[in-house]
């Protein structure tokens, strides 16, 4: 299991409102951005290394 696959379960473990998620580039995936969008949380996730836009 990878880090980004664990994120949904981590968010389910708290009943407190989460305003933002600070994570490393491993969490820069569509799945992570979708779950934080659903939870209405601000993602503070840098892009993966080597990705140029």
Higher-confidence residue: 1 or 27? Answer: 27
Domain membership of residue 35 as a residue range: 3-44
d(CA 24, CA 43): 11
Q: Answer yes or no: is pLDDT of 48 > 90.
A: no
Residue 52 falls inside a structural domain: no
* Structural domain contains residue 53: no
Position of tokens 């969008």? 37
On the question of pLDDT at 53 being above 60, the answer is no
- The DSSP-derived string for 4-52 is HHHHHHHHHT--S---EEE--GGG-SHHHHHHHHHTT-EEE-PPPTT--
Better-predicted residue by pLDDT, 53 or 40? 40
What is the pTM assigned to this prediction?
0.74
Query: Which of the two residues, 53 and 36, has the higher pLDDT score?
Result: 36
What's the domain count of the chain?
1
Is 21 domain-assigned?
Answer: yes
CA–CA separation, 52 and 35 (whole Å)? 24
Per the domain annotation, does 32 fall within a domain? Answer: yes
Over the stretch 13-46, which tens digit does the pLDDT of each residue have?
888 889 999 999 889 999 999 999 998 999 999 8
Let me know if residue 49 belongs to a domain. Answer: no
């Amino acid at each position: 299991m990878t880090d980004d696959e664990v994120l949904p379960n981590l968010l389910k473990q708290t009943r407190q409102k989460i305003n933002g998620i600070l994570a490393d580039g491993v969490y820069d995936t569509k799945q992570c951005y979708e779950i934080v969008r659903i939870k209405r949380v601000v993602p503070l996730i840098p892009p993966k290394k080597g990705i140029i836009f």
